[in-house]
Amino acid sequence: MPTTDILLYLAIAVLVVWRVIIRQFRGSAPTVRGLTVIPGLLVIVGAVSCAPLLPKASGAELGLLATDLALLIAFGVARAASTRLTERNGYAFQKGTAATLVLWLATIAIRVGVALVGVQLGVAGPLTSASLLLSMGLTIGTQNAVVYLRAQRLGLRIAPDRATPVRS
């Protein structure tokens, strides 16, 4: 993969993670759009980037990818569980906790660590770097899905999308 592609992926990753993490610690009322658009786009772009590389990937690299995705999905569940959900103005309100921050740092460390282990074992190939956006989309999407389910279980309504007019 060309260096410019890697730098582009890293820039996108930094911007997305920064936006997601900052929003979580300021707190926000989750909307369906907010819970789905960014992770959905990341998964789509990541899957499109990975698809042509899958047939050429070794079994070891596919195993590395599966391990990476499984760990990041688990961390998405853990971050969602650590997020404080309350009711504000009639809607769910989510706010990250200190544990959420620690879990975000662990999530990033896991992603970097798995890639480094892959390099050390000689199994990291183009798929490993191309899967960055896919893995980000899955971990954020998993977190958002669990937050949504927790809100539903607690009887908290999801706020309407900002573009949707609120009827009085």
Query: Is the residue at 100 inside a domain?
Result: yes
Query: Is the residue at 167 inside a domain?
Result: no
Q: What is the dihedral of CA 77, 81, 87, 91, to 10 degrees?
A: 0
Which tokens is 66 given?
Answer: 């599966």
pTM metric for this prediction: 0.87
Query: Is the residue at 51 inside a domain?
Result: yes
Query: Is the residue at 164 inside a domain?
Result: no
Query: Is the residue at 108 inside a domain?
Result: yes
Instruction: Characterise 155 by phi-psi region: left (phi > 0), alpha (psi -120 to 50), beta (else).
Output: left
Please say whether the beta carbons of 157 and 70 come within 8 A. no
Residue-range definition of the domain harbouring residue 67: 3-153
**Residues, the chain, total?**
168
Query: Is the residue at 98 inside a domain?
Result: yes
Task: Tell me the pLDDT band of 82, cut-offs 50, 70 and 90.
Answer: very high
Distance (Å, rounded) from C-alpha 146 to C-alpha 152?
10
Looking at the structure of the chain, the number of domains it has is: 1
Query: Is the residue at 30 inside a domain?
Result: yes
Task: Tell me the pLDDT band of 129, cut-offs 50, 70 and 90.
Answer: confident
Distance (Å, rounded) from C-alpha 67 to C-alpha 110?
10
C-alpha closest to that of 20 among 115, 103, 90: 103
Query: Is the residue at 166 inside a domain?
Result: no
Q: Which residue did the predictor score with more confidence, 39 or 9?
A: 39
